[in-house]
Amino acid sequence: MPGTPETGEPAAAAPRPDLVLLGVFGAAHGVRGEVRLKSHTGDPAAIAGYGPLRTEAGRVFELVSVRPLKDDMLVARVKGISDRTAAEALTNLRLHVERAVLGEADAEEDEFFHADLIGLTAETADGNAFGTVLALFDFGAGDLLEIKPSDGGRSLFLPFTKAAVPVVDVRGGRLVVVPPAEIEGEPPPAAGQVDIEPAAPRRRGLGPPAR
């Protein structure tokens, strides 16, 4: 089976609902086998606490240690990876954990795991493409979704409320957004990575009506 251009891994037939994306390997870091790792867990370093992580193609990796680099980017040491060449081969590999490890969010209670939201396609109520969810932040006044616009440009920040995000379809890989009249183009000055237990599901706020 041919591999994907980005990773060389066999292409997965379809996203697996039994796996939750927790992070993505980036470029090699230094010459001793360390690699950059973008974490999607609430506390970035908590990704190392889930035990072995796997790709959709079945490769398994054990994180020996992680240390912060910037924001949600870490520097990771991976078991069995001891030189730069081996670390370079990890670039763009997506790391998952079995959903059973996280437990279940209560959809009826409008709860969603942080990691489930990352990568969802955002579209408007009339079905037009809006962007892709990059991250979830809590700046002290409620959760904000960081969305990369479909037409390019800098990220936009929308409140994660029922008014601004009326539909979240994790299994369908999408959410519907109703952008307020004014959309934040930059995080507030006190911006910081949301600091929550990564296994705790997030609940949308009610928020003010979208305009």
Q: Using the 8-state DSSP alphabet, how is residue 196 labeled?
A: S
Residues 96 and 30 in one domain: yes
Q: Tell me 61's DSSP state.
A: E
How would you write the pLDDT of the chain (211 residues) with one tens digit per residue?
Answer: 344 444 455 444 445 667 888 899 999 999 999 999 999 887 889 899 989 999 989 999 999 999 999 888 999 999 999 999 999 999 999 999 887 777 666 555 667 777 788 889 999 999 999 999 988 876 656 788 999 999 888 899 998 888 899 999 888 899 999 987 655 555 443 333 333 233 444 555 544 333 2
DSSP state of 201: P
Q: What is the pLDDT of residue 119?
A: 87
Q: What is the domain range of residue 182?
A: 107-203
Work out how many domains the chain is built from and give that number: 2
Out of 49, 75, 102, pick the residue that ends a domain: 102
Q: What is the pLDDT of residue 104?
A: 63
Number of H helices, E strands in the chain: 3, 15
What does the pLDDT read at residue 170? 83
Is residue 84 situated within a structural domain? Answer: yes
For the four alpha carbons of 185, 189, 195 and 201, in that order, the dihedral sign comes to negative
Q: Are residues 174 and 93 in the same domain?
A: no
The end-to-end CA distance of the chain, in Å, is: 49
Rg for the chain (alpha carbons), in Å?
Answer: 18
Q: Is residue 209 part of a domain?
A: no
Is pTM beyond 0.85? Reply is no
Domain CATH for 73 = 2.40.30.60
Cα 17 to Cα 60: distance, rounded to the nearest angstrom? 18
Contact present, 150 and 128 (Cβ < 8 Å): no
Q: What is residue 32's predicted lDDT score, i.e. its pLDDT?
A: 93
